Structure 1
Amino acid sequence: MAAAGPKWAQKTITLPPQRRDCHLITPQIVKEIGQELSHFNCGLAHLFLQHTTASLTINENVDSDVRDDTETFLNRIVPEGTSAPWKHTLEAWVPITNGKLNMGPWQGIWLCEHRDYPTGRKVVVTLNGI
């Protein structure tokens, strides 16, 4: 019997407008891709944020002080209205194992909103694996 080839799935998730801060979005991401994700035993989930005035990060998620400290730091290096010369092209990759995102037990996916004015955001999630 021949082995099954790699599978692909992709979904664009629209996040509601959020105020400037770091927001846990893991539950919404998992809810939106849960059906597709359940068909993968091993693979990668690529998360791409279609905006330059916000960012995605995977961080410790149990102690709220981590989120507060991250937001304090981001406010210093990415103040509202300041144009910084950042150069980035990569977003977050998350392993897939047995139909689930394989993050550490205390990790979560955060949307870090860098604008004072709430704006809806879109995250493209691409799943690849077997």
Structure 2
Amino acid sequence: MQTFCSPCFATRVPIRVKALHTNQRTVNNPGSMAETAAPRWAQKTITLPPQKRGCHLVTSQILKEIGQDLSGFKCGLAHFFLQHTSASLTINENYDSDVRDDTETFLNRVVPEGTSAPWKHTLEGPDDMPAHIKSSMFGCSLTVPITNGKLNMGTWQGIWLCEHRDYPTSRRVVITLNGI
């Protein structure tokens, strides 16, 4: 591995950066970190089965669907986009399920629902508008680095699907991989 030095713009303190991927030939810029291999792209839409209301660890289900494609990337990014407005994706604790239960409890306290809630949008039921708000709070997309054919998350991190509706429905996730 080559080591490059770069000044830190905020403090002007030199920092050392180790390049994960280097090569012997670069186009028009010898010594650059640019890779000569052409970038690769892969995209797949997966359907996650219906889940009851709450936060659900879905990392293994996702890896089962994309593992073969993912293994072909040495370095890159995986982007996950949930095609729904009443569920969300987030990265959080992958070990203790109490964290998922506590997160659901928190969301339900912060975003009230039912007949006493102040929401105008109730066409699909009293849980619909709260589901939209919760989805906006956590978001519908994630980006995770890819390193040596694997998602490069922390030891205790996992991908959660947060279902914010009372009646379960399947959820579609568009997964786009790019890198080298």
TM-score (norm 1): 0.91
Q: Structure 1 89/22 Cα, relative in aligned 2: closer, same or farther at 3 Å?
A: closer
1:120 has 2:167 as partner: no
Q: Structure 1 16/103 Cα, relative in aligned 2: closer, same or farther at 3 Å?
A: same
- Gaps in structure 2 of 5+ consecutive residues: 1-24, 27-35, 114-126
**Offset, 1:122:** 0.3
Q: 2:88 touches 2:140 (CA, 8 Å); kept in 1?
A: no
**Offset, 1:76:** 2.5
Would you tell me which structure has more strand in proportion to its own residues? 1
Identity of aligned residues (%): 72
Comparing 107-116 with 86-95, greater Cα deviation is found at: 86-95
Residue 145 of structure 2 corresponds to 95
1:68 has 2:118 as partner: no
**Offset, 1:25:** 0.5
Considering only CA atoms, is the larger Rg found in Structure 1 or Structure 2? Answer: 2
- Equivalent-residue separation in structure 2 for 1:90 and 1:7 (angstroms): 24
Kindly tell me the number of residue pairs found equivalent between the two proteins. Answer: 130
SS in 1 for 2:48: strand
SS in 2 for 1:17: coil
* Residues 87-118 of structure 1: CA deviation (Å, up to 9, x unaligned): 88761100000000000011110000000011
- Equivalent-residue separation in structure 1 for 2:128 and 2:71 (angstroms): 41
What is the Cα-based RMSD across aligned positions, in Å? Answer: 2.0
- The higher relative CO (CA closer than 8 Å, separation ≥ 6) is in 1
Q: 2:88 touches 2:138 (CA, 8 Å); kept in 1?
A: no
Q: Structure 1 109/89 Cα, relative in aligned 2: closer, same or farther at 3 Å?
A: closer
Partner of residue 129 from structure 2, selected from 82, 101, 111: 82
Residue 41 of structure 1 corresponds to 74
- Equivalent-residue separation in structure 2 for 1:74 and 1:22 (angstroms): 10
**Offset, 1:61:** 1.4
Runs of 4 or more above 2 Å deviation: 76-79, 81-90
Partner of residue 111 from structure 1, selected from 161, 166, 170: 161
TM-score (norm 2): 0.67
